[in-house]
Amino acid sequence: MSKGAHVGRFIAVTGVAALALAACSGGGSGSGGESGGDVTLEFSQWWEPELPDGEFRALMDKFEEANPGIKVELLSGPYASTKEQVVAGAAAGTMSDVVGLDGAWVNDFSQQGAIADLSAVMKDAGYDDSQLASQVQVDGKTYMIPVVNFVYPMFTNDDLLGKAGVTAPPTNRTEFADAATKVTGLGGDVHGWVLPLSLEAPNGIQNDVMSWVWASGGSMLKDGKPALVDNPAVTSATDYIQGLWDDGVIAPGSFTMKEQDKVEEFTNGRVGMMIDSLAHVNTIREANPDLKFSISAIPAEDGYSGKRGIPYASWGIGIAENSEHKAEAFKLIEFLMSEETNSELSSIAHAFPGNTASVPDFVKDDELFSTAFDIYKSGYPANEFTGLPVAEQLMRDFGEQFQKALDGQQSMADALTAAQSAWDEEF
């Protein structure tokens, strides 16, 4: 990733303040013409294997029916192998026409010139982008559109909170600290909150630490650049977590804990609260059908009344710069982002839509998902690591310093200064 590149902040278009998701790409040879003048679009992604059998192909069949002369060839595989494909395709200039993207890759691919400027493509198509819940930009240009989103609200164990005398999920930091203290006071191996800070898989910095900044409308960036020092939003959130740590209300093992470990602790009834992906609701239900739990917005600073940022992960989509059929490729994106199709796709993926007008079926039938959708609509998508250079390494750099502060090797102010220095080198 080229250093010194100016990186645009994640841009959220918040009509009704919905969210969006990111995807991955494969390595194809662009597109080839078929007999009769048909255009074949290669579409590399990891989505098809994660959806019910035949559902994604059925959507492509609908697209082909509505767009005679355009065929879609799905190149599908697991996330890891798709990532290998798209990285190789980016380097070789052989990306598929349409690519599923992870937001963490966008900066790198845009600097390589591997993915197309969608702002220009949308302008050429006369496309109204106000219907998009969000766009991922670098240097003010859109390179990825989140198609569907998996959001990260707060989960609370109703039984544990009830036993501790907490009658409702906390809404602000004071209430959260009080609830965490009371749940920890139940004794045994029970703790108030679970915080995964593994450096091997450092996304806990994104989902479990910076989420406290975004929940109160704060930012870790200024003009697209790191702003960890002399930033009241970051200082207050990290000092707050330090206080929870010092009070002993966080489950042990944080420094080596990964996301899946966090989910296991919650599922087994050992923690009262966690911040986690909505994608895990059904996993938790299947693993522990007797567990009663609720979903709520991540607590904000006391007195904060503005919109709350909510972390998310996305299936994103882009177009390869090497594609000879960018106009046709955008027709496919336009189809996937239309109100009807986006509603259908988000329904079968159990995710939230990238079109602000779309409503997935499952929110009507499931109280937890309905609550989560209300949280989603009333806030805004917040993941400032999306679109940044070497996003995972930035999380790791921060995590190393954050751990040292938590266990008393340095002050939190020194941790933020050291993390800022490491981040500046990557920019």
The whole-angstrom separation of Cα 424 and Cα 422 is 6
pTM score, two decimals? 0.75
Q: For position 142, which CATH number holds?
A: 3.40.190.10
Q: Is the pLDDT of residue 5 over 50?
A: no
Residues 366, 415, single domain; the answer is no
Using a pLDDT cut of 90, give the percent of the chain over it.
69
Q: Tell me: pLDDT of 17 over 50.
A: no
CA angle 85, 86, 91 (to 5 degrees): 100
- 156 token code pair: 């609370």
Question: Is residue 414 included in any domain, yes or no?
Answer: yes
Look at the block and give the residue holding tokens 């091997």. 200
**135, 253: one domain:** no
Q: Average pLDDT over the chain, rounded to whole?
A: 89
Structural domain includes residue 177? yes
Cα(256)–Cα(250) distance, rounded to whole angstroms? 14
Same domain, 220 and 107: no
DSSP state of 320: B
My answer on whether 249 and 345 are in the same domain is no
Is 5 within the bounds of a domain? no
User: Same structural domain for residues 421 and 287?
Assistant: yes
Same domain, 50 and 191: no
Domain that holds residue 33: 11-151+311-381
Cα(160)–Cα(165) distance, integer angstroms:
9
3 within some domain:
no
Cα distances (Å, whole numbers) of residue 412 to 164, 189, 219, 249, 391:
31, 28, 18, 18, 22
- Domain count across the chain: 2
Cβ atoms within 10 Å, residue 191: 22
Residue 123 CA to residue 381 CA, distance in Å, equals 24
Question: Within a domain: residue 396?
Answer: yes
Query: Is 31 inside a domain boundary?
Result: yes
Q: What is the pLDDT, as a whole number, of residue 150? A: 84
Task: Please tell me whether residues 73 and 109 are part of one structural domain.
Answer: yes
Q: What pLDDT does 19 receive?
A: 34
Give yes or no for a contact between 180 and 249, defined as CB atoms under 8 angstroms apart.
Answer: yes
How far apart are alpha carbons 119 and 8 in whole angstroms?
Answer: 14
Residue 1 counted as domain residue: no
Same-domain status, 226 and 214: yes
- Whether residues 102 and 193 share a domain: the answer is no
The least confident of 9-23, 108-122, 380-394, 398-412 is: 9-23
Write the pLDDT tens digit of every residue in 322-348.
999 999 999 999 999 999 999 999 998
- Say if 24 falls within a structural domain: yes
Residues 333 and 213 in one domain: no
Tell me the C-alpha distance between 186 and 168, whole Å: 17
Considering the domain architecture, whether residues 220 and 139 belong to the same structural domain is answered as no
Question: Both 45 and 183 in a single domain?
Answer: no
